[in-house]
Amino acid sequence: MDETTWLEETVRDLGADRVGVADLAAAGGLETQPRDLLEPYPRAVVYAVRLPGAAVETCRHGPTPEYAHCYRVANEELDRIGFAVARALERRGHRALPLPASQLLDRERLVGHVSYKALARLAGLGWQGKSLLLVTPEFGPRVRLGAVLTDAPLPAGRPVPNRCGSCTACADACPVGAIRGVGTEAHYRSREEAVELSRCAEACFGFAGRPHIEKPICGVCVRACPWGQKRETRS
């Protein structure tokens, strides 16, 4: 069995819906915490877990307890998968570092270890939509992402073209008007180019104060994207 087939079977058997490999030589300029995080690792295994469609559908005006529950379980799933993938890679003689599904390392600047959307885009899992979210052709943005850094010489994927076109559904739906509706061919130079970040973050942290939500989440732009809705009507 070749390395790609092994990886796809392993990660899918663990419960992920999509998996790809990013060539980190193409990740130059990407901010990381700590700064040298990617240095020992030429590759990242990036995987996606699809959120139950019915839970996403409840987010008409903001997050609901049902969505918050799925958010929490998805994070546990992602962490479990990443841990198992890292151990499987180690058993094959490689170095592998699983990254946490959702950890804010700098609360002021709102950054984690590295952008999983950027890694997923480099791996070819989807494109960066106007909402800043990673949009997959299969499930739209209705996925949560995980990543394992590794020195395994896995064949890497390639970015796919952006397919948002003139759609502004996410911007139209945003409850605080934070999404500017600006398109990009590859990726935004900064988050501000696409989103008024302080508005988005204030809304998410505001929702966290509501009963049974407790985390800075929203879900409205996730729900609004037609790429995710297409899939729900087909299944």
Mark residues 15-54: x for contact with ligand B12 by CB under 6 A, - for none.
Answer: ------------x-xxx-----------------------
Cα-to-chain-centroid distance, residue 100:
12
Is-contact 55 69, C-beta < 8 A? Answer: yes
Length of the chain: 235
Least distance from ligand B12 to the Cβ atom of residue 13, Å: 20
Cα angle vertex 164, ends 160, 170, to 5°? Answer: 130
In the structure encoding, which two tokens stand for residue 114, read together? 């590295």
Which residues, in sequence order, are CB contacts of 55 under 8 Å at separation 6+?
64, 66, 67, 69, 70
* Under rule CB under 6 A, residue 223 binds ligand B12: no
Q: Which stretch binds ligand B12 (CB under 6 A): 9-17, 37-45, 89-97, 183-191?
A: 183-191
Q: Which stretch binds ligand B12 (CB under 6 A): 4-12, 17-25, 38-46, 185-193?
A: 185-193
* Under rule CB under 6 A, residue 143 binds ligand B12: yes
Of the two residues 6 and 197, which places its CB atom closer to ligand B12 in the complex?
197
Give the residue among 231, 226, 213 at the shortest CA–CA distance from 62: 213
* Under rule CB under 6 A, residue 6 binds ligand B12: no
Give the residue among 121, 83, 75, 71 at the shortest CA–CA distance from 101: 75
Binding site for ligand B12 (CB under 6 A): 27, 29-31, 71, 78, 101-102, 104, 110-113, 115-118, 121, 128, 131-134, 141, 143-145, 187-188, 190-191, 195, 197, 200-201, 204, 216-219, 221-222
